Amino acid sequence: MKIFFDGGLRPAPHGMELAVVAAGRSHIERGLGSGTSMEAEWLALIAAMRLAKRLALTDAVLLGDAAAVIAQASGRVKVPQAHLAHFACYMALPRPARFRLRHIKRTQNLAGIALEKTRTALGA
């Protein structure tokens, strides 16, 4: 199953937000506090992994548009000190038997599209 994820950051007072889309259903979390866009992307990846576990998937492809987070999570790039806790949380989560993490274009990211649509609907 494909699981799309995206994190975002809006100006105060909104802060970080994330979206995860799987099986045509959007899971959106807002008001995650202050932080950076990179932190929001890590939180979205972690939320996607947790959703894969809740759905008891044995085959999952996680798709996101944050190239840096995907490279770090995949071990291709060193994780900056600021994100070591996020990386540790991600690594501690169970993986489906068949698991892939892939980078996609922003325009292909259904989670990013869902996040933008809800922002527009909220007038933000």
- The gap from C-alpha 46 to its chain's centroid, in whole angstroms, comes to 6
d(CA 101, CA 27): 19
Where in the sequence is the domain holding 83, given as residue range(s)?
2-122
Outline where DSSP puts E strands in 11-121.
15-22, 25-29, 59-64, 98-103
Please check the confidence at residue 12 and state whether its pLDDT lies above 90: no
The structural domain count of the chain equals 1
Distance between CA atoms of residues 17 and 36, nearest Å? 10
Domain of 32, CATH number, reads 3.30.420.10
Reported confidence tier of residue 14, pLDDT bands at 50, 70, 90: confident
29-46 pLDDT, tens digit per residue, is 998 999 999 999 999 999
* Res 123: pLDDT: 62
pTM, to two decimals: 0.93
